[in-house]
């Protein structure tokens, strides 16, 4: 329990430093265009990696394809709705409802 709270506080501290340091020190530091671009790519890359972890629960070598079939269908629907509507909330709701219905239909 104590370790988990410490990790959460560490997450908060790290995030807060990222938010506040540029506001207080920006007049001394200038980020190059390439560095800003690298920050963007890192953010996108980490989010994409977390999607994989979320879909597979970090399972590395399960028998067969690592993503259960029903999730692939719900995941595809999530992408389609979010890209079509350009609305993350609509995509998330569509995917989660699909996951729920498919799971209940399969059971």
Query: 80 to 99, contacts with another protein by CB under 8 A?
Result: 81-83, 85-92, 95-97, 99
Q: Considering only residues 4-63, where is the footprint of another protein by CB under 8 A?
A: 4-16, 18-24, 26, 31, 34, 36-58, 60-61
Torsion of CA 87, 89, 92, 98, to 10 degrees: -90
For residue 81, count CB atoms less than 10 angstroms from its CB and return exposed for 0-12, middle for 13-18, buried for 19 or more: buried
How many angstroms from the chain centroid is the CA of residue 44? 9
- 72 near another protein (CB under 8 A): no
Using an 8 Å Cβ cutoff, are 53 and 70 in contact?
no
Size of the site for another protein (CB under 8 A): 76
CB of 63 to another protein, least distance (A): 15
User: Of 56, 51, 52, 54, which Cα lies nearest the Cα of 68?
Assistant: 56
CB of 75 to another protein, least distance (A): 6
CB of 98 to another protein, least distance (A): 9
CB of 64 to another protein, least distance (A): 14
């Amino acid at each position: 329990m104590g370790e988990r709270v410490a990790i959460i506080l560490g997450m908060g501290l790290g995030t807060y430093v990222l938010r506040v340091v540029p506001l207080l020190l920006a007049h001394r530091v200038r980020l190059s265009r390439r560095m800003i671009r690298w920050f963007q790519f890192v953010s996108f890359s980490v989010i994409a990696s977390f999607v994989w972890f979320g879909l597979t629960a970090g399972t590395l070598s399960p028998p067969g394809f690592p993503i259960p079939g029903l999730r692939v269908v719900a995941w595809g629907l999530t992408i389609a709705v979010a890209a079509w509507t350009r609305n993350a909330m609509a995509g998330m709701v569509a995917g989660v409802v699909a996951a729920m219905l498919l799971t209940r239909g399969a059971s």
